[in-house]
């Protein structure tokens, strides 16, 4: 008897079967989309209010940094807690905390704490939202394999990507309209209401302890029966058994360690966005439309990748495709720095956004597939935290390049630097490069 690589019945289009098959996943997907809109509104409202209160760009940057740093810390802590306590409980604590932080920001904007808004209070609640809200992220991601078979994780990753792109696309516009119409205080109020809705949605989730079994392929997803207990720690191939040390796990589970490394490089490379305004000023005469088109082109490419992700689960060498996509994106960055034709630049950015999202989906599915359930919270927390930190560091490094060279040269040299690092990763990350198809079909009697 032999196990043959699966040839799933799929089209090029996004697989939405997780939404159809699993009621708990529908709750998570809907709540996450709503929460992303609220978070996006916060990302607009806090800088605007901070500048109105202080007239200081330093305070604007400080508030943004406070949120980012606290989010990073919250992800690490949340990952550890998600492997110790019921993940449903951690999700509810995180989303409830975010709701309270939004409520605090709204109360401050209405002058509840001092008769007028206080900028110090903005710092406090923005940091609290980042810290407490992040506690739920690792728990939420780690819970997904207990709700759906691992064969669905590529589709889940694509749906997650869609929710992120939609949420981040519409939230700034919503925030801007509310601020223009009735003021920033009502933006915070609206975000608090949205957070309350997510809490109500998530209360309907089942209990999800770290030891919960993973559904076997073919089981009815979303039901109360997720397979026999013997499947609970299924790591689908070459994942190591659960361990109490995440460092030991990453040293022995080379595929997951490789995915982490690729994620860091990808986020470092994404820091090139810090050079886009200067490049537009240099190459396109400071046309603000060019800057807007550039960011929109990346978002379009990302959405196209998510909506045409049906081919990804059938990859025979997903790790090789992941590493190749990483190198392709950095090549595109170099071409972007070399072109002076706006249409060509936008096409390059669309393809680059496509490649970034393909990587994002594959990283998510590989981590979910090769990490045992009892340690998945810590791995997910570390993964999300290092990606948040990676793009921050990448932006800083790209900014330094921009102080040494002209914007176009800086983009080219930064792209070349990242391409060399990606080539080194292609050579050194052999276990990831050689990892085979994510999913296999059941054994066939009589097969050679």
pLDDT for residue 219 is more than 80: no
Could you give the C-alpha distances from 187 to 25, 61, 69, 104, 297, in angstroms and in order? 28, 20, 23, 12, 28
pLDDT value, residue 441? 41
Domain check: are 122 and 261 in the same one?
A: no
- CATH code for the domain in which residue 167 is found: 1.20.1250.20
- 401-420 pLDDT, tens digit per residue, is 988 999 899 999 999 999 99
Quote the pLDDT of residue 215.
65
Question: Are residues 190 and 254 part of one domain?
Answer: no
**By C-alpha distance, which of 159, 349, 359 is closest to 263?**
359
Q: In the block, which residue shows the tokens 């082109």?
A: 297
Same domain, 193 and 259: no
Q: Is 2 helix (H, G, I), strand (E, B) or coil?
A: strand
Residues 292 and 186 in one domain: no
State pLDDT tens for residues 10-31.
Answer: 568 888 999 999 999 999 999 9
Share of the chain above pLDDT 90, in %: 39
| Total number of domains constituting the chain | 2
Q: Is there a single domain that holds both residue 173 and residue 39?
A: yes
* Confidence at residue 447, expressed as pLDDT on a 0 to 100 scale: 37
Same-domain pairing of 330 and 397 = yes
Least confident range from 123-127, 170-174, 189-193: namely 170-174
Question: Are both 187 and 281 inside the same structural domain?
Answer: no
- DSSP string for residues in 341-383: -HHHHHHHHHHHHHHHHHHHHHHHHHHHHHS-HHHHHHHHHHH
Q: Contact at 8 Å (CB) between 28 and 87?
A: no
- Counted residue by residue, the chain has a size of 448
Is residue 232 assigned to a domain?
A: no
Answer yes or no: is 236 within a domain: no
Please tell me the distance from the alpha carbon of residue 276 to that of residue 399, in angstroms, as a whole number. 10
- Of 144-148, 208-212, 350-354, the least confident: 208-212
For residues 193 and 287, state if they share a domain: no
Residue 10 belongs to a domain: no
CA distance 311 to 308: 7
Specify whether the CB–CB gap between 356 and 165 falls below 8 A: no
Would residue 216 count as lying in a domain? no
Taking each helix axis from N to C terminus, what angle separates 23-54 and 87-109, rounded to the nearest 10 degrees? 30
Higher per-residue confidence, 141 vs 107: 107
Q: Which domain holds residue 129?
A: 17-209
- The answer on 154 and 262 residing in a single domain is no
99-108, 230-239, 285-294, 373-382: the lowest-pLDDT one: 230-239
User: How does pLDDT run across 436-447, given as a tens digit for each residue?
Assistant: 875 544 333 333
The answer to whether 279 and 293 have CB atoms below 8 angstroms apart is: no
* pLDDT of the residue at 229: 37
- Do residues 159 and 14 touch, judged by C-beta distance below 8 A? yes
Instruction: Indicate the range of 91-95, 290-294, 379-383 predicted with least confidence.
Output: 290-294
Residue 398 and residue 254 share a domain: yes
- Shared domain for 145 and 283, answered yes or no, is no
Could you tell me if 193 and 258 lie in one domain? Answer: no
pLDDT tens, 346-375? 999 999 999 999 999 999 999 988 888 888
Residue 240 lies in a domain: no
């Amino acid at each position: 008897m032999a196990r043959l690589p699966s040839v799933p019945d799929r089209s090029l289009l996004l697989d939405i079967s997780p939404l159809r098959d699993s009621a708990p996943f529908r709750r998570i997907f809907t709540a996450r989309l709503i929460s992303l809109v609220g978070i996006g509104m916060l990302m607009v409202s806090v800088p605007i209010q901070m500048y109105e209160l202080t007239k200081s760009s330093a305070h604007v940057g400080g508030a943004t940094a406070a949120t980012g740093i606290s989010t990073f810390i919250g992800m690490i802590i949340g990952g550890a807690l998600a492997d110790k306590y019921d993940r449903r409980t951690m999700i509810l604590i995180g989303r409830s905390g975010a709701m309270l932080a939004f409520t605090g920001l709204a109360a401050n904007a209405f002058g509840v704490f001092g008769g007028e808004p206080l900028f110090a209070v903005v710092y406090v609640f923005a940091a609290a939202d980042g810290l407490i809200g992040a506690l739920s992220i690792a728990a939420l991601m780690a819970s997904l394999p207990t709700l759906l078979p691992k064969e669905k994780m590529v589709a889940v990753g694509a749906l997650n990507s869609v929710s992120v792109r939609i949420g981040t696309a519409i939230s700034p516009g919503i925030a801007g309209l509310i601020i223009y119409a009735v003021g920033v205080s009502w933006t915070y109020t609206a975000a608090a209401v949205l957070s309350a809705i997510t809490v109500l949605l998530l209360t309907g989730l089942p209990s999800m302890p770290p030891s919960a079994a993973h559904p076997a392929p073919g089981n009815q997803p979303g039901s109360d029966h997720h397979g026999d207990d013997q499947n609970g720690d299924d790591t689908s191939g070459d994942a190591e058994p659960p361990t109490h040390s995440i460092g030991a796990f990453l040293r022995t589970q080379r595929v997951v360690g490789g995915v982490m490394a690729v994620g860091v490089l990808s986020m470092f490379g994404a820091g090139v966005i810090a050079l886009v305004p200067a490049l537009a000023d240099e190459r396109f005469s400071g046309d603000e439309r060019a800057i807007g088109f550039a960011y929109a082109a990346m978002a379009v490419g990302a959405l196209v990748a998510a909506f045409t992700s049906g081919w990804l689960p059938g990859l025979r060498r997903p790790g090789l495709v992941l590493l190749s996509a990483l190198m392709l994106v950095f090549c595109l960055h170099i071409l972007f720095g070399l072109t002076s034709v706006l249409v060509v630049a936008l096409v390059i950015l669309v393809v680059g956004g496509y490649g970034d999202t393909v990587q994002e989906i594959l990283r998510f599915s590989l981590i979910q597939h090769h990490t045992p359930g009892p340690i998945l919270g810590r791995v997910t927390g570390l993964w999300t935290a290092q990606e948040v930190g990676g793009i921050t560091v990448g932006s800083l490094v790209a900014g330094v390049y921009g102080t040494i060279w002209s914007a176009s040269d800086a983009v080219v040299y930064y792209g070349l630097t990242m391409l060399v690092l990606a080539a080194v990763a292609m050579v050194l990350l052999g276990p990831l490069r050689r990892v085979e198809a994510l999913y296999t079909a059941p054994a066939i009697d009589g097969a050679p």
